[in-house]
């Protein structure tokens, strides 16, 4: 069996990466980072992420460029951790067979998260889709996993986003598990996975029964 994980809002809460990036930038532009951090956070909560850095530059009269802020945000070393429950799930998945990861997003940003979380010790085969000019819901990354573990017949995908994550693995007849992350932005979207869980611990018996 191969258990395949998504990264953002599945193995950790992406909101923590957002906070980490805002704090990194706030600390760079001010000796009192609390004020610019609060400014960015309030915009994020009320307007989303689209124009945060533009407004930051304008409000604080910064000479730094928008591009440099975006780069700093995407490439900073994030202050994120795995929960005890996530590590317990990863340990079980590893004990039951092989493991993989499929994640969208800019490669440098995603590999920073991967390295910071120490996922190398659990994940046998990570696929950063940006490297291959693909992204979910396209099937290529899932087919890559199947080709890499060509002798395996059972594949599981655990992820959070019904808008793009489960179409390909459902078509490939994988077992799909939707983690309805209570802190995730997709939590209110109806699931199209076979199972839905609200705790990582709930995935463990599903993996054990399927293996």
Residue-level pLDDT, tens digit, the chain, 211 residues: 999 999 999 999 999 999 999 999 999 999 999 999 999 999 999 988 789 999 999 999 999 999 999 999 999 999 999 999 999 999 999 999 999 999 999 999 999 999 999 999 999 999 999 999 999 999 999 999 999 999 999 999 999 999 999 999 999 999 999 999 998 888 889 999 999 999 999 999 999 999 9
Of the residues 75, 96, 122, which one is the last residue of a structural domain? 75
Task: Indicate the residue among 37, 58, 75 that finishes a domain.
Answer: 75
Same domain for 40 and 70?
yes
Does residue 149 sit in the same domain as residue 50?
Answer: no
pLDDT recorded at residue 14: 95
Same domain? For 180 and 126 the reply is yes
Q: What pLDDT shows up at residue 50?
A: 82
Residues 148, 91 share a domain: yes
Nearest alpha carbon to residue 2 among 130, 158, 115: 158
CA dihedral over 156, 159, 164, 166, signed as positive or negative: positive
Same domain, 151 and 86: yes
Go through 35-66 and write b for each residue having 16 or more CB atoms within 10 A of its CB, e for each that does not. ebbebbbebbeeeeeeebbeebbeeeebeeee
Q: Which domain holds residue 158?
A: 2-12+82-210
Same domain for 101 and 197? yes
Same domain flag for 153 and 141: yes
Distance CA 34, CA 139 (A): 43
Same domain for 156 and 195? yes
Answer whether the bond into residue 137 is a cis peptide, omega within 30°: yes
* Domains identified in the chain, total number: 2
Q: Are residues 117 and 87 part of one domain?
A: yes
What per-residue confidence (pLDDT) applies to 174? 98
On whether both 49 and 126 belong to a single domain, the answer is: no
Last residue of a domain, one of 31, 51, 75: 75
Kindly state whether residues 71 and 90 are assigned to the same domain. no
Rounded to 10 degrees, the C-alpha dihedral 112/114/120/124 comes to -130
Residues 103 and 46 in one domain: no
pLDDT number for residue 58: 96
Sign of CA dihedral 159, 83, 155, 7: positive
In this prediction, residue 185 carries a pLDDT of 86
Kindly state the helix (H) or strand (E) to which residue 2 belongs, with its residue range. strand 2-5
CA separation for the pair 166, 158 (Å, rounded):
9
Strand order in the sheet with 195-197: 125-128, 98-103, 2-5, 155-159, 175-179, 195-197
CATH number at residue 191: 3.40.50.1000
Q: SS3 of 155, please?
A: strand
**Per-residue model confidence (pLDDT) at position 26:** 97
State the virtual CA torsion across 95, 96, 97, 98 in degrees, nearest 10.
Answer: -70
């Amino acid at each position: 069996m191969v258990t395949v994980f998504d990264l953002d809002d599945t193995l950790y809460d992406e909101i923590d990466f957002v906070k980490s990036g805002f704090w990194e930038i706030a600390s760079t532009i001010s000796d009192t980072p609390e004020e610019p951090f609060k400014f960015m956070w309030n915009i994020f909560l009320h307007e989303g992420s689209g124009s945060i850095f533009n407004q930051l530059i304008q409000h604080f009269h910064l000479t730094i460029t928008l591009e440099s802020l975006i780069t700093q945000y995407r490439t900073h070393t994030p202050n994120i951790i795995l929960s005890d429950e996530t590590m317990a799930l990863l340990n079980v998945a590893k004990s039951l067979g092989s493991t993989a990861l499929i994640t969208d997003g800019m490669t440098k940003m995603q590999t920073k998260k991967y390295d910071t979380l120490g996922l190398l010790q659990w994940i046998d085969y990570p696929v950063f889709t940006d490297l291959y000019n693909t992204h979910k819901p396209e099937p290529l990354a899932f087919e890559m996993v199947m080709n890499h573990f060509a002798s395996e017949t059972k594949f599981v995908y655990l992820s959070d986003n019904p808008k793009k994550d489960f179409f390909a693995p459902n078509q490939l007849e994988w077992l799909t598990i939707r983690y309805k992350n209570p802190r995730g932005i997709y939590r209110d979207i109806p699931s199209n996975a076979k199972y839905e869980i609200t705790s990582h611990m709930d995935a463990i018996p599903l993996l054990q029964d399927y293996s």
